[in-house]
Amino acid sequence: MLNKVSRLSRRGADDIIRLAVPDLDPKILAAIRERVPQIVVSYKPDHGLRGKMYAETAYGYVPPERRDPNWPEHEWVVRKALTDLSEKNCETIRNRKLRDRVRNYLQQHKANGLKADKALAKFAKEYGVRHVRILIKNQTISPAASAPYKGYAPVSYICCDVWRVPKGRERGEFKGVFWSYAETADGQAPDKATKKPHPAARFVARLFKDDIVAYEEGGRTSIVRVAGFSTTNNKLDIRPHHLAVSEQSYVGINVLGAKGLKKVRISPDGLVFGVEGETIS
């Protein structure tokens, strides 16, 4: 079969290879489909400390005395295209007179059956308002050292430290401490002790994207891949390790910790080894 694939996949005259796979015997196909989910995939570790530090958008800081009384926790302002806003975003337009005008315009045109995005496009054209400043609440934005009135939001995070924090309960509570690429710009691995969430917290594991973790569920061990982080919700995006493409699946770190979250290492020949931390029970 491999020989046939090789012959069918020759480079074409346009210098493009078009992979052609012959039909498999149904019994072989069924056996592959049964076996693949049982294969524990070995991922090449990528724990590099370099990456894009901040999103390109700059945010303006709103001091407490100048904040909107309707949005006291929205301490940042950013410029956005009016047509990119949702109806909810329109309620956070910084200019209150413009906010009221947009709201009334939307209500009027929605009553006539026009959708919000179409109504905003019509408003922008009719009044010549293409961009507006909106208030936002974002806990990840950090003020710029050279300009405290300006802030930037980390665009991605390099890793997550999982800690067990005592809360007076039998099993305790599990928290994720996230590190952005901006915090590792000097090329040094982050010191977990500098962000220890509690004096009595116990370190569980440091997780990078594509690391493999295991936990107990329904009497069996589940092995999954860490595909991403939700820094504001204390969650990990965990996905089947044997699927190249799968949907996001965010699960709380506290939930995973209670199920015995443990970082594991997969050897190239499929053996599973526990590393960095202990099984939590």
Convert the pLDDT of each residue in 14-67 to its tens digit: 777 777 677 888 999 999 888 887 788 888 777 767 666 666 677 888 888 888
Residue 10 has pLDDT above 80, yes or no: no
User: What is the H or E stretch that residue 163 is in?
Assistant: strand 157-165
Are the C-beta atoms of residues 61 and 147 closer than 8 Å to each other?
no
* Averaged pLDDT, 74-103: 89
User: What residues contact 89, with CB distance under 8 A and at least 6 apart?
Assistant: 80, 134
Closest CA to 235 of 215, 217, 247, 250: 250
Distances (CA, A) of 60 to 68, 136, 151, 180: 14, 10, 6, 21
What does the pLDDT look like over 114-140, one tens digit per residue?
Answer: 888 888 999 998 889 999 998 988 766
What is the pLDDT of the chain when averaged over all its residues?
82
Q: By percentage, how much of the chain surpasses pLDDT 70?
A: 86
Are the C-beta atoms of residues 150 and 59 closer than 8 Å to each other?
yes
Q: For residue 52, what pLDDT is reported? A: 62
User: What is the H or E stretch that residue 7 is in?
Assistant: helix 2-8
User: How does residue 267 score in pLDDT terms, banded at 50, 70 and 90?
Assistant: confident
Rounded Cα distance between 231 and 205, Å, is 16
* Averaged pLDDT, 90-115: 89
User: How does residue 239 score in pLDDT terms, banded at 50, 70 and 90?
Assistant: very high
User: How does residue 279 score in pLDDT terms, banded at 50, 70 and 90?
Assistant: very low
* Averaged pLDDT, 173-197: 83
Residue 169 has pLDDT above 60, yes or no: no
Q: For residue 281, what pLDDT is reported? A: 34
More confident residue, 202 or 146: 202
Q: Identify the bridge partners of residue 79 per DSSP, sorted by sequence position.
A: 133
Residue 147 has pLDDT above 80, yes or no: no
Q: For residue 98, what pLDDT is reported? A: 92
Rounded Cα distance between 158 and 52, Å, is 10
- CB burial of 235-249 (b: ≥16 within 10 Å; e: otherwise) equals bbbbbebeeeeeeee
Rounded Cα distance between 155 and 214, Å, is 27
Closest CA to 173 of 215, 193, 201, 192: 201
User: How does residue 172 score in pLDDT terms, banded at 50, 70 and 90?
Assistant: low
Q: For residue 151, what pLDDT is reported? A: 74
Number of other residues whose CB lies within 10 A of the CB of residue 163? 23
Are the C-beta atoms of residues 205 and 223 closer than 8 Å to each other?
no
Task: Output DSSP code: residue 154.
Answer: B
Domain boundaries, the chain: 59-136, 157-274
